[in-house]
Amino acid sequence: MSEQANFIVDYYENGNKAEQRDYGFNADRISVFKDNGQLINSITKNKNGTINSSEENTFDEKGNRIENKTYQEYNNIKNRKIYKFNDDGKEIEIIQYTNDKFELKIENTYDEKGNMLTSNGYKEDGTIDFIATYSYNELNLCIKYIYDKPTFPGNPYYLHYTYKYNDKNDCIERVSFTKEGIVKKTDTYTLVYDDKGKLIIQQPPVY
């Protein structure tokens, strides 16, 4: 879509978007939403009428997204994700397919407060693809995150971060470590609040 695209939006009575039509120089996109704001489907067509990309979501009776399908014309890739949830509405399993071939299964666990504790990815043969763990303080703020792809040669994707917060629960420091526990880098964040105490600037942003 062009940055100069024009668009038209229709709304539900509750004020949420019902449909948005974007018109660009090279392609047009139509997106349809549920009355709670969730995307039902979106399709982008080139000016010659061929499909450039598309996305379709399916939801259960509780409003949880249980399936997501996307398509990209430029590389002819179809992606599909199937989701499972626990009784609290938390994602506990995601199965990913690419062009109808199994790609990855992700399993998530949570503590009694609903904080994610682990997120592990598995290949089709059941072996580990990645392991992610989270730790929290008494305010349920994440204070440590570790991501590891133990079977990948050289393990270049390893991440280990710790976080510190101010009295407003906004992150003011992030420290990254090597797998051996040696500090690699310390990022500090400049925070600016408005006169009502709302955070308006965080430089650089925290990821």
- What's the confidence (pLDDT) of residue 207? 65
- What's the confidence (pLDDT) of residue 3? 43
- What's the confidence (pLDDT) of residue 155? 81
Asked if 46 and 26 count as a contact pair (C-beta separation under 8 A), the reply is yes
Kindly give the confidence (pLDDT) of every residue in the chain, 207 residues in length, as a single tens digit, with 9 standing for 90 and above: 434 459 999 999 999 999 999 998 889 999 999 999 999 999 999 999 999 999 999 999 999 999 999 999 877 899 999 999 999 999 999 999 999 999 999 999 999 999 999 999 999 999 999 999 999 999 999 999 999 999 888 888 999 999 999 999 999 999 999 999 999 999 999 999 999 999 998 888 776
- What's the confidence (pLDDT) of residue 168? 94
Number of Cβ within a 10 Å radius of residue 125: 6
Pairwise CA distance, residues 148 & 179, whole Å? 9
Question: What is the dihedral sign for C-alpha 62, 64, 66, 68?
Answer: positive
Using CB atoms within 10 Å of the CB of residue 121, give its burial: 0 to 12 exposed, 13 to 18 middle, 19+ buried.
middle
Pairwise CA distance, residues 26 & 74, whole Å? 14
- What's the confidence (pLDDT) of residue 5? 53
